[in-house]
């Protein structure tokens, strides 16, 4: 099964390998797996206060197509809003990498990881806002004796 030059390039020279602090409220982490082949992908997004993806990192345990899909996904999301990133589909990755049909599930992993990372980030934001509201209500309360 021949791979495109782009798959080989992203596999041999993966972009944005690494991780961020998962406890950072500006970081969303998505961890997904593919039962078909055992691939596991962790994708993290660092998001600015105005909702733009500033940076992305990944760690993938899997085949060359999974690593290439992860690497390309990190490049595709940078500079995008959350809504724009959610619009990235596995078919975009398949087309860009020219993945063979038997490896399409690797691109699905990348799409799912983007969604999971954004959901994690949004959940952190809701928690943080709830905590801030609680602190503000406690600070605003008057104590009577």
Active-site residue set: 37, 106
What is the Cα–Cα distance from 96 to 90, expressed in whole angstroms? 10
Residue 6, judged by CB atoms within 10 A of its CB (0-12, 13-18, 19+), counts as middle
What is the helix, strand, coil percentage profile of the chain, to 5?
50, 20, 30
């Amino acid at each position: 099964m021949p791979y495109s030059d782009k798959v080989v390039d992203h596999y041999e020279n993966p972009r944005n390998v690494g991780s961020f602090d998962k406890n950072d409220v500006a970081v969303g982490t998505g961890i997904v797996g593919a039962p078909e082949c055992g691939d596991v992908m962790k994708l993290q997004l660092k998001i600015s206060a105005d909702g733009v993806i500033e940076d992305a990192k990944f760690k993938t345990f899997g085949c060359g197509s999974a690593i290439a899909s992860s690497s390309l996904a990190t490049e595709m999301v940078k500079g995008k809003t959350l809504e724009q990133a959610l619009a990235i589909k596995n078919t975009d990755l398949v087309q860009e990498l020219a993945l063979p049909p038997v490896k399409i599930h690797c691109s699905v992993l990348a799409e799912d990881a983007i969604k999971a990372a954004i959901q994690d980030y949004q959940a952190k934001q809701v928690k943080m806002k709830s905590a801030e509201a609680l602190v503000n209500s406690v600070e605003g309360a008057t104590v009577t004796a």
